[in-house]
Structure 1
Amino acid sequence: MLEKNSLTKIKKDVEDSVGKKVILKANKGRKKTTVREGILESAYPSIFVVKISNQYDSVRRVSYTYSDILTETVEVTICDGEERKISIC
């Protein structure tokens, strides 16, 4: 079982990655998953916000809680400048 410290570790990892490109894989239920690419815009005490651009030049912001990562509802992969990927799980 995961400890409370793992939630604070997830929060710190997300806060350290603000401004970086991320890939989100979200579980939408009934075997539906969506994969989106965006920029981790900001991190707040209970949520984090990702700015997503699509092919129609519209900008959309989605927010998730840190517990979404803990319960594996959302999988966040951080892409560094060297195309290295770091998963927060």
Structure 2
Amino acid sequence: MANSAQAEKRARQAEKRRRQNASQRSTLRTFIKKVVKAIEAGDKEAAMQAYQSAVPQIDSAANKGTIHANKAARHKSRLNAHIKAMA
């Protein structure tokens, strides 16, 4: 329970930030799932298109601090490796 105006404001800001982060994370996961589903379906063309649209979302999440830069790089690298492994 906030006992001062400053604490109330910080609580409001923290809640707003939490919602924004949750939304960003959810969007990121959705884009990654689209790529994974295309890979599992064996459709290389669809996987490439999904990957192309996922990369800016991954980079955006990393730039905003929602995820760590190394995690973003790891996601991009692994997804791309899976796509390239498709014959």
TM-score (norm 1): 0.24
> By percentage of residues, which structure has more helix?
2
Q: Greater strand share, 1 or 2?
A: 1
Q: What TM-score comes out, normalization by structure 2 length?
A: 0.25
Higher radius of gyration, 1 or 2: 2
